[in-house]
């Protein structure tokens, strides 16, 4: 996970309980500067908040930590200090992402739940509320809507869903959108099934938040226009995709065991299928 393009956080997934390692760019090289060891099992996901300069990690030990720099009491040197997050899950944490405002984050898990975590200044710790219904299996991926309230999630129950993660003391009341108007916590704003029954590995909102894309284990990408309403599925002649990101409102890049770029239609009422499908070298 990059921060400001000059520092990098990573963990080796092939090593049990590998620490979080921080690298800094020095000239044309990346050099290790910090080793952060707190998790006692495999780190599954890392996200670095660029504005607040905080790192959140999740792991198979069912924990999440928020790492923040502060001066060492003895040397005065800036060091990374962890704060444990109260997730209240009984299975591994699988994926974590900061919200756009960086005042909360979502932790997916194998407990058929998503922990929405926010900071409690009175207790001086991060607390969570759980999104549960109607999730029926491990949650594999999450992505935040630009409004800081809606959350997309992809699961091993072959569903992509859009939830409201509204927290009264944290969020401003969101404006009405194509996903709905009244959005109390755990409202289901959309539920979509993988075309031929594959796990949903990746989800992503377009920059406007009005379009959702998800990639499934059946080697497909589905693009959903809830305001249409319409959805289009791209069946790929490749191995499954594991991640995707939008480059603008009309195109996205997805990667997995193969690598493809997909140009999505600017208007689903005009274009009945994706306009361009290109394999990158």
Distance CA 94, CA 140 (A): 6
- The alpha carbon of 58 is separated from its chain's Cα centroid by a whole number of angstroms, namely 12
Average pLDDT, the chain: 88
Distance CA 190, CA 40 (A): 36
State the pLDDT at residue 14.
55
Please indicate whether residue 2 or residue 52 has the higher confidence score (pLDDT).
52
Distance CA 225, CA 233 (A): 12
Neighbours of 166 (CB within 10 A): 22
Residue 119 pLDDT exceeds 70: yes
Residue 268 pLDDT exceeds 50: no
Residue 130 pLDDT exceeds 80: yes
Residue 2 pLDDT exceeds 70: no
State the pLDDT at residue 239.
87
- The alpha carbon of 134 is separated from its chain's Cα centroid by a whole number of angstroms, namely 19
Going along the chain from its start, the domains and CATH numbers come out as 1-136 (2.130.10.10)
Half-sphere exposure of 249 (CA within 13 A, CB side): 8
- Based on the number of CB atoms within 10 Å of its own CB, is 103 exposed (0-12), middle (13-18) or buried (19 or more)? middle
Residue 269: pLDDT band by 50, 70, 90 thresholds?
very low
Strand 220-225 to strand 230-235: parallel, antiparallel, or no bridges (unpaired)?
antiparallel
Residue 180: pLDDT band by 50, 70, 90 thresholds?
very high
Distance CA 223, CA 60 (A): 31
State the pLDDT at residue 232.
85
pTM of the model as a whole: 0.90
């Amino acid at each position: 996970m990059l921060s400001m393009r000059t520092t990098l956080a990573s963990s080796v997934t092939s090593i049990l309980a590998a620490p979080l390692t921080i690298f800094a760019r020095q000239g044309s090289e990346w050099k290790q500067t910090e080793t952060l060891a707190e998790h006692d099992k495999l780190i599954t996901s890392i996200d670095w908040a660029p504005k607040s300069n905080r790192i959140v990690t999740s792991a198979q030990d069912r924990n999440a930590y928020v790492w923040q720099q502060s001066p060492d009491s003895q040397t005065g040197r800036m060091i990374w200090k962890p704060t444990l997050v109260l997730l209240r899950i009984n299975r591994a944490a699988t994926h974590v992402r900061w919200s756009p405002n960086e005042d909360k984050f979502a932790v997916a898990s194998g407990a058929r739940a998503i922990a929405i975590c926010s900071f409690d200044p009175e207790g001086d710790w991060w607390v969570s509320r759980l999104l549960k219904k109607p999730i029926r299996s491990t949650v594999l991926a999450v992505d935040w809507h630009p409004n800081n309230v809606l959350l997309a999630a992809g699961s091993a129950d072959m569903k992509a869903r859009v939830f409201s993660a509204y927290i009264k003391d944290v969020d401003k009341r969101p404006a009405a959108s194509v996903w709905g108007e009244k959005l109390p916590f755990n409202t289901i704003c959309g539920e979509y099934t993988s075309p031929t029954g594959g796990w949903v590995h990746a989800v992503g909102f377009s920059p406007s938040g009005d379009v959702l894309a998800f990639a499934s284990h059946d080697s497909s990408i589905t693009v959903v226009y809830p305001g249409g309403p319409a959805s289009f599925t791209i069946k790929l002649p490749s191995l499954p995709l594991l991640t995707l990101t939008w480059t603008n409102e009309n195109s996205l890049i997805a990667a997995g065991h193969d690598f493809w770029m997909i140009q999505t239609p600017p208007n689903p009422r005009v274009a009945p299928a994706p306009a361009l499908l290109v394999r990158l070298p």
